[in-house]
Structure formats: structure tokens, C-alpha cells
Amino acid sequence: MGETFDDPDVTREAWSRLHPKEDLAVFDIAIRIQCLAALLAARYDAAVKTHGFAAYGDYSVCAAVRRNGHGTTPSALADELLVTRAGMTGRLSRLHGAGFIERHTSEQDARSLNIRLTPLGRRRVDATFSSLQVERTQALASLTTGQQEQLATLLRAALTEDEPS
């Protein structure tokens, strides 16, 4: 992993010495997922800032609006991105100030806002998405296409398993 992350094998070895009877197979998986997530988060943060976003979370808001296609409400964005309503309000204010989004009164309910991307916001989201694809590709370059597909399948299964009772 290189960058500034602890070596998972060194960390595992230390825990193995402290808990020699523990099976650390799941630990091996989890710590590598954590390291990969940290590596990607650092790369994502740098990439979004080069495109004018204050943070990855701000990009995520604009990307959600972009995927929606026709605009959405602050509440729907907060629910989709698992952010509090207050947190979403702050992000939307920042993005509006940066010229990335427009806020319009809903045609169906005058008490509600509809969030849409500006042309600038749309260009920035698309450019950022492309940059993030480069970062993802580089982060997983040591895996073959088949290995990437296998990893995606395994992670999908791990993330969709029912909670144990």
C-alpha cells in the first residue's frame, strides 16, 4: 500500500503475537479493506479539490443530483447520502455559493425546494467523475480484470449478507 498507511502484514503479525489463539483470517480481509478505503479517500479528496469542490462530500451531493437527472429535494439528498438535514443545508449553501447548484421552489409544493445543477456544476461533476475513475483504476491496477470482477462479486456478497441473528 505504500503511501502513509500501516503495513497490514506488520499489524497482523503484532496482533498474532498478542493473541496467538485467534484466527485472524477475517482481520486480514478487514484491515486490507480499511487500507484500500483510506487510500481511495485520500486520492478522492485530492481529485475533487482540483475540480473546485471543497470536499468529497460536496462532490457527492452534486453527483447525486447529476444521477437523478431532473433535480431533487434537500431531504431526498440527505436520505440518499446518509447526511443530517442540517449537514445537507450546509453543503447546499456552499455549493450554491460556488455556483454549482441552483435552488428553485418546487412546482408541486411551494414550501419545498428543488435542487438542480448549474451548467458549471454539471461540467465539474463530469470532470471529477472522470478523474475519480483514473484514481480507482490506478488504485486497483495490480489486479487483473478478472480479479477485479471477482473482488467486486465477493464484496457485493459481503455487503448484502443478512445480519446474523
Q: Each residue of 24-76: pLDDT tens digit?
A: 989 989 999 999 999 999 999 999 999 999 999 999 999 999 999 888 999 99
Q: Are 118 and 125 in contact (CB under 8 A)?
A: no
What is residue 2's predicted lDDT score, i.e. its pLDDT? 44
For the stretch 81-135, pLDDT in tens is 999 999 999 999 999 999 999 999 877 778 888 999 999 999 999 999 999 999 9
4 band by pLDDT with thresholds 50, 70 and 90: very low
pLDDT attached to residue 1: 41
pLDDT at 162: 64
Q: Return the pLDDT at 7.
A: 85
Residue pointed to by grid coordinates 485520500: 42
- Going by C-beta distance under 8 Å and a sequence separation of 6 or more, which residues neighbour residue 3? 39, 42
- What pLDDT does residue 11 have? 87
Q: How far is CA 56 from CA 14, 49, 60, in A?
A: 33, 8, 6
CATH number of 8-140: 1.10.10.10
pTM here is 0.81
Mean pLDDT of 138-149: 95
The residue ranking higher by pLDDT, 8 or 157, is 157
